[in-house]
Amino acid sequence: MRSSVRTSPSSALSVSRLTSPSRSRSSSTRLAGVRSSEGTAVLAIALLLWAHLILSSDAVRRSAALFVTGALAGGAALFRPELAPVAVLSSLSLALALTAPQRLTIIVGFAVALAPLALHVVVAGP
């Protein structure tokens, strides 16, 4: 005789995550409570912090590091567009100490990172 146990869809999903042989238990429990909007906000802030770390370090003399700094800040703005003014204003004090060509390298990196968003606006726009 079979006993049928009713479970809600959310509990069935969490049980299948925990018992799935293809996933480890730690990865499923770590991601279970994070909503996607919270995850993108955390990722955007982490990218912005890495950009500030590079900008304030000694690696700022290299143009590749400056480009990566701009790309990281642009990536933060790409994940969370409301962080674009934050990225610009928070980097402004560090960027003022740089020369004009170095600032231009950061701006180019920022623009390259935002290129997918610009393409999306052109295609989906009116």
Given a contact cutoff of 8 angstroms between Cβ atoms, the answer to whether 57 and 69 are in contact is no
Locate 50 and state its tokens: 């890495």
In a domain, 87, yes or no: yes
**Total number of domains in the chain:** 1
Locate 20 and state its tokens: 């799935």
Whole-model pTM: value is 0.65
In a domain, 7, yes or no: no
Summarize pLDDT for 45-86 with one digit per residue, the tens: 999 999 888 888 887 778 889 999 999 999 998 888 888 888
DSSP 75-120: HHHHH-GGGHHHHHHHHHHHHTTS-HHHHHHHHHHHHHHTHHHHHH
- Domain housing 107: 36-124
Locate 36 and state its tokens: 């996607």
In a domain, 11, yes or no: no
